[in-house]
Amino acid sequence: MNYNNFFKFFLFSILYNASEFCMTTSGNTLTTTTTSLPLITTTALTTTVTITQTTTTTALTTTTNAITCGAITVLKNDPANSLDITQTETQQADGTSVLEIECVSPDPLTTVTFFWNNGNNGMTASTTNTITASLICGNNGNWELTQPDPATGNDVTTEITQIECVFI
């Protein structure tokens, strides 16, 4: 057997991987049979994957229990000059209650003044015969008036349980 030729053929077959071979020996003669391999075609498969992300948004609704404020006592300490007061309560979108109060003198030549808590928490004067104010229902269930402090000019909030309207 001629190993030199066998080795060359073997390397050739491995390097080119293009044929199958079969060898037989008959004495000192090497018989080689070569068969061509079929042509192999590869096909690349491309797959497209689409990923969709869905976002769900939930609206949060907060319900606030409205605080109810008690009634404001209308005082008439001066029977000759005390006037009636109109009170209109409204519920705001945010759940707060607002009380609009108004006092009108029948005489257009007079001025009117609100006295808060029997005058203990000051007064609010008008230069005409009509006066209005807005009170907010506070967290503790009392009506609150916010107005500038005459001494400092800073806003001051006062709980209001009594009101009087007097014309001069």
pLDDT of residue 50: 61
Query: Does residue 129 form part of some domain?
Result: yes
Predicted pLDDT of residue 21: 46
* Nearest by Cα to 122 from 154, 158, 153, 98: 158
- pLDDT for the residue numbered 30: 57
Dist CA 38 CA 97 (whole Å): 92
Q: What is the mean pLDDT of each run of 10 residues along the chain (168 residues)?
A: 60 52 56 55 56 61 65 93 96 93 96 94 94 95 92 94 95
For position 129, what pLDDT does the model report?
97
Cβ contact 131:103 at 8 Å: yes
Q: Is residue 31 part of a domain?
A: no
Residue 68 included in any domain: no
Domain residues for the domain of 152 are 73-167
For residue 160, being part of any structural domain is answered with yes
* Gap between the terminal Cα atoms of the chain: 142
Q: Where are the beta strands (DSSP E) in the chain?
A: 19-26, 29-36, 73-74, 82-83, 86-91, 97-104, 112-116, 123-125, 130-137, 143-148, 155-160, 162-167
The pLDDT value recorded for residue 45 is 56
pLDDT value of residue 17: 54
In total, how many domains does the chain have? 1
Residue 26 within any structural domain of the chain: no
**Residue 12 lies inside a defined structural domain of this protein:** no
Please check whether residue 145 lies inside any domain of the structure. Answer: yes
Tell me, yes or no, whether 35 lies in a domain.
Answer: no
